[in-house]
Structure 1
Amino acid sequence: MRTLDFYFDYRSPYSFLALSQVRKMDVEIAFHPLEIGDLMKQVGNVPTSITCAPKGRYVMTDIQRWAVHYGVSLNWHPQLLEIDASRLLRATLVAGQLGAMPTAVEAIFNAIWSAPAPLATAAEVAGLDAEELAERMDEPAAQDLLDEAAANAVSRGVFGAPTLFVGDEMFFGNDRLHFMQGHLARAA
């Protein structure tokens, strides 16, 4: 089975949409959480959907179109702008140390984009002790993991989310999945 490296930030609805399709593929997913704002600063990228109001408005329509196209329920968490995404990303990396990263990724993405729920329940859904996770994700070691994740992403040429790799072949955005599927088919 081929391994797919999946670089994402929970705040990216396109990451959620891409994952909804990648889950259906015959691949093993290696998750790489990253703080998108930090990454973009490091590589000199600018979030044009934030800096350009007309594009920002269009993106909202585009996201809904993709959700319909994929048959995915997209229900924005009512406190999305208040969520400390860095903390969730650190929690995900700690969950990875505990052997539960895929389950944590699924639970957190669903809590934010599919079935909005208190994020504390995401730890429970992932089968983790919420208190232990909360304690460990706020330790300096968890921030070190997040910084290392960003450095790894930068070294691979990642400039946004979602970014997916099959080996050294990079695919950016949920709208490039068909190219990735073609690559996987040719490599099989």
Structure 2
Amino acid sequence: MTKTIDFYFDFISPFSYLAQVKLPDLARRTGCVIEYRPIDIPEAKIAAGNYGPSNREVVPKIKVMMADLERWAAKYEVPLTFPASFACSDWNCAALYARGQDQAEAFVTAAYHRIWGIGIDPRDQNELRGCAEDVGLDADALCEFVRSPAGQGEYRKARTQAYQRGVFGAPMMFVDDQIFWGNDRLDFLESYLLD
């Protein structure tokens, strides 16, 4: 029976970007499918009872985190450029539209490349439209979904279900009763899937 990797991510997360660089190949190697599940990290933290400051507000932590990000990007041989803003909610919602069109992997990969590889401004709707078009999605339909009460409702429901499941950050990968948090847990995920 094919196993599913529930991949919880937020386009605000550079570590989710790094996980997405490797996750599709890992899934193919292990015969799994990925279910892309966008969340909102600040909201997830609060839902889990974490009211502490964001990483950006803890200067010693952000310094180490930045060095780690650069190391991971170099290891994975991918560009890493901080985006012009962290306003990624529309992109997260758009991932649900892409999932409904069986284009989640392509959209998420292309979106992460734009946001964290190139460093675009996620607030720019032309970037969102361009990303949709690049992967063969109808940009008008995608943007309509993102703006619609139905699309926003689907995104809200997806987030609520994630938090009820225990999602507190991203990236998180769930398989069976196992949880793997962080791009640095992909080796553990693969070992579990190959057992």
Indicate the residue corresponding to 2:162 in structure 1.
Answer: 153
1:111/1:119 contact within 8 Å kept: no
Per the alignment, do residues 94 and 49 of structure 1 end up closer, same or farther by CA in structure 2, a change over 3 Å counting?
same
Q: Secondary structure at the match of 2:25?
A: coil
Partner of 1:110: 113
Residues 8 and 162 in structure 1, CA contact (< 8 A), matched pair in contact too:
yes
Task: Specify which of 52, 70, 89 is matched with residue 58 of structure 2.
Answer: 52
CA apart distance, 1:47: 5.2
Which residue is 1:96 aligned to? 99
Residue type of the alignment partner of 1:174: N
Greater shift after overlay, 36-45 or 98-107? 98-107
State how far apart, in whole Å, the 1-side matches of 2:98 and 2:108 are. 9
Find 2:142's aligned residue among 124, 133, 145: 133
Alpha-carbon distance, 1:140 to partner: 1.2
Contact persistence 1:15–1:174 (CA under 8 A): yes
**TM-score with structure 2 setting the length:** 0.86
Shift, 1:126, TM fit: 2.0
Q: Which of 60, 72, 81 in structure 2 is aligned with 1:75?
A: 81
Deviation at 1:76, TM superposition (A): 3.0
Percent same amino acid at aligned positions? Answer: 37
| Cα contact 1:90–1:143 (8 A) shared by 2 | yes
Q: Which residue of 1 aligns with 2:124?
A: none
What is the CA-CA distance between 1:177 and the residue it aligns to?
A: 1.4
- Distance in 1 between the 2:130 and 2:157 partners? 27
Paired residue total: 183
- Unmatched tracts of structure 1, length 5 or more: none
Aligned partner of 1:9 in structure 2 is 10
| In 1, Cα distance between equivalents of 2:165 and 2:53 | 19
Q: Kindly indicate whether residue 90 of structure 2 is the aligned counterpart of residue 87 of structure 1.
A: yes
Structure 2 spans left out of the alignment, 5+ residues? 121-126
What is the distance in 2 between the residues matched to 1:20 and 1:99? 19
CA drift at 1:53: 1.4
CA RMSD of aligned residues (A): 1.7
Q: Which amino acid aligns with 2:13?
A: S
